[in-house]
Structure 1
Amino acid sequence: MTDASPTAAVLIIGDEVLSGRTQDTNLNTIARFLTASGIDLLEARTVGDRTEQIVENLNALRSAHDYVFTTGGIGPTHDDITADAVAKAFGVALPEHPDAVAILENRYGPGEFNAARRRMARIPEGGTLIANPVTDAPGFQIGNVFVMAGVPRIMTAMLEDVAPRLRTGAVVLSRTIRVSGVGEGAVADILTAAAKAEREVSFGSYPFGHGSASEIGTNLVVRGRDADRLETAVTRLVAELAVAGIGAAEV
């Protein structure tokens, strides 16, 4: 392994997300989880319940990043095809996992563990289970891919079992400078110059107040892994804004 921070991608699976019937919140949860672990989330894609589309996107992402997190499509119904697609992507069989069968048998009463629910015990060959403390039905890991539920409460709980399996990196630190009374364009040149001067630090501009009666302005977010570099960048940026007659305050 290199000293570089690990990279990750998210693959959101489900026709219900694409149709607008379900609003995805899992991406935000995973992004915050990865940021706190020093893992760079570089890409996110959303696909429908179509096997070939899942396979194609999963293979592209898992070859490009250290980790891939999928959400959705591991329930008991006919359109829950994520396990099938992941097995196909890895070129392996999809047998029932004995531990998953035992977990689900214990979950359901006599006669309730039907064929539909047995589908949730199918795990791609070579996969290991991800614990689900909410409803017991497990997710799974195969290679660098973590396959989790689409229900936000369940997915979030699964991350507890995922966390110890990850190689972490240096956490990204963040500082925010609030500029009020001027539009984003007024600070664009100053921000561009700052970005060129401090290439180990990232700069972002997030305007507020447009289209409303509230005061306009922008939040300048400075991010980096080195605390000293970050402090230097923030100090210089505030000074340059002051020279230009633009008031700024860190928040």
Structure 2
Amino acid sequence: MEQIFSPDGFEEVGSGPLYLQLQRRIGEAIDTGRLKPGDSLPAERDMAAMTGLSRVTVRKAVEGLVGSGQLVQKRGSGTFVAQRVERLEQALSLLTSFTEDMARRGKSVESVWLARGLHAPAPEEVMALGLGAGDRVARLERVRRSDGVPLAIERASISAQVLPEPERVDASLYAALEARGMRPVRAVQRISAANLGVRDAELLHVPPGAAGLKIERIGYLPDGRVVEFTRSLYRGDAYDFAVELKLAPEAERNG
């Protein structure tokens, strides 16, 4: 750590602004493994004292590395080297749960529950789920982790008639629905780009404003009834979504 923040070597002609020199030092230490995921960096004032740079210069260097996703800042805790995130490819042609998808990859799954309970439905839940006057909705909000890394925030809404005890849902919502004979067999998904707000970014261990993918899913039962309304936020640096495209039948192409 002392070598990384040594005052030697800064001021060299042609090396660029001091904050960029410090950024490169820290970045190289991360790339070479001298700084490992989860390692804590010294406080800003300590880095300034060690390097002989101003706190403004140190702050600018750290902000740049946070913006690039190499460092993460946790309120009240400090600045840490970000966990390395493996990019995952998700096929859009399969209706699977997060738990099932990660299990196929041989990865562990963990849910950090933020909320589980019954509520009066919001207007968008009434519209999406086709609820009537006096109906209640089960809301489940959680952070989905794989191998300890937060990948997505999932906010699901289910009619209370379908899921009267949301607090009993464990790892897989789809498993709970299947046990009640209410697992969706098809779904419509809408995907859009999003910049993560402060709370969501903190939950996913990325800087505020980082790129994310917003996915809205409406799931249907075999008889056509809507059973699921889920809004998820995925880390943009962790997911690629893939879909197979086929040539339309000749009749459609010529029609």
- The answer to whether the superposition gives a TM-score over 0.5 is no
- In the superposition, the TM-score normalised over structure 1's length comes to 0.24
Which structure: greater helix fraction? 1
- In the superposition, the TM-score normalised over structure 2's length comes to 0.24
